[in-house]
């Protein structure tokens, strides 16, 4: 490809120097690439004169074909880019983020951009943005995603929550020691991050003893953990960002004030190529504005 580009530019300008300037390389590199192409084709494409070059008969036949090929290639890329830009915006994210944070706000995005259709892919799997029909992802992690454009959205804390009825059932839930009478709901996020806060860490922070944190119900999806808390199955540590709307609505309560900060964060990720698509840029601007209340002023600089 490099040899073909060098030949096409040199043939169009009839100058190695101008071709080098266009392709941001040296004239020597242009000459070398053309030599490699001539060796491959087993024919001379240029006649080297004292201070100029000229196409040979074979070069004159070859140049318009290559130029036309590049034009068709650029047209195809443009058409695909236009198709991606006009099609639906496909967002991938974990089910809990979609259901508890994104969906309640999605109508605002549609109101601001009525011409952009949205398709949601609820998954936390690794995505190949180059080969899959995915435009943008919202991922929970450390923010290190090689070869992708990454934008920090927000961090959060874990807070203890439960359904209101648990506060008064049985022995009630008035003191931290009352947790021994309730089922603890656990997440399996330690598989993603061994240092992820859990009940043992929370109880250590509050200085509580005599509560067995090894038992309870374990979930590998935070949306299932969330639903179990709403259904009154036990007491869970949930992200304050997701839980606080349910607390305001009275569907959950926070029996104790102590919270644990989480080191991992939510990030917006996409490929460098897709980040330049208008619909992706529009969504990035919108979600940064929508989540601004969750970032410290230093994070927004």
* Domain-wise residue ranges, the chain: 2-85, 87-155+264-294, 157-261
Indicate if the pLDDT at residue 301 is higher than 50: no
Which pLDDT score, from 0 to 100, does residue 130 have? 77
Which pLDDT score, from 0 to 100, does residue 89 have? 95
Indicate if the pLDDT at residue 183 is higher than 80: yes
Same CATH fold assignment for domains 2-85 and 87-155+264-294 = no
Q: Which fold has domain 157-261?
A: D-Maltodextrin-Binding Protein; domain 2 (3.40.190)
The phi and psi torsions of 211 (rounded to 5 degrees) equal -115, 120
Indicate if the pLDDT at residue 229 is higher than 90: yes
Instruction: Report which listed range, 190-204, 209-223, 238-252, is most confident.
Output: 238-252
Is this prediction's pTM over 0.75?
no
Q: Report residue 72's pLDDT band, with 50, 70 and 90 as the boundaries.
A: confident
Which pLDDT score, from 0 to 100, does residue 86 have? 65
Q: Average pLDDT, stretch 88-104?
A: 92
CATH of domain 2-85: 1.10.10.10
Beta bridge pairs of residue 53: 48
User: Please, which contacts does 39-48 make with residues 24 or more away whose CB atoms are closer than 8 Å?
Assistant: 40/3, 45/7, 45/11, 46/10, 46/11
Indicate if the pLDDT at residue 81 is higher than 90: no
Which pLDDT score, from 0 to 100, does residue 187 have? 87
Tokens of 239: 């992200």
Q: How many CB atoms lie within 10 A of CB 260?
A: 18
Q: Average pLDDT, stretch 74-102?
A: 77
Q: Average pLDDT, stretch 257-282?
A: 92
The CA distance from 259 to 253, in Å, is 14
CATH architecture of the domain covering 87-155+264-294: 3-Layer(aba) Sandwich (3.40)
Place of tokens 């309870």: 216
Indicate if the pLDDT at residue 161 is higher than 80: yes
């Amino acid at each position: 490809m490099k040899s073909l580009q060098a030949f096409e530019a040199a043939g169009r300008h009839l100058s190695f120097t101008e071709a080098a300037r266009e392709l941001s390389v040296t004239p020597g590199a242009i000459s070398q690439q053309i030599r490699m192409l001539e060796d491959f084709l087993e024919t001379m494409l240029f006649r080297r004169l004292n201070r100029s070059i000229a196409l040979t008969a074979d070069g004159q036949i070859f140049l318009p074909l290559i130029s036309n090929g590049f034009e068709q290639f650029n047209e195809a890329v443009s058409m695909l880019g236009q198709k991606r830009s006009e099609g639906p915006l496909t967002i991938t994210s974990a089910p809990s983020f979609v259901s508890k944070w994104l969906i309640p706000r999605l109508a605002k995005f549609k109101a601001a951009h009525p011409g952009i259709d949205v398709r949601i892919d609820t998954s936390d799997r690794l995505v190949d943005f180059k080969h899959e029909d995915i435009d943008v992802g919202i991922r929970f992690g450390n923010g290190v995603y090689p070869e992708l454009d990454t934008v920090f959205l927000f961090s959060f804390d874990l807070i203890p929550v439960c359904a209101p009825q648990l506060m008064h059932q049985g022995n009630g839930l008035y003191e931290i020691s009352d947790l021994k009478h309730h089922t603890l709901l656990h997440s399996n996020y330690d598989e993603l991050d061994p240092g992820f806060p859990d009940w043992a860490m929370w109880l250590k922070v509050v200085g509580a003893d005599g509560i067995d944190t090894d038992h309870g119900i374990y979930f590998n999806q935070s949306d299932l953990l969330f639903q179990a808390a709403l259904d009154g199955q036990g007491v869970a540590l949930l992200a304050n960002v997701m839980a606080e709307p349910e607390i305001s609505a009275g569907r959950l309560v926070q029996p104790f004030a102590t919270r644990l900060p989480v080191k991992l964060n939510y990030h917006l990720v996409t490929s460098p190529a897709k980040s330049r698509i208008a619909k992706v840029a529009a969504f990035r601007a919108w979600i940064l504005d929508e989540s601004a209340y969750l970032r410290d002023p230093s994070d927004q600089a």
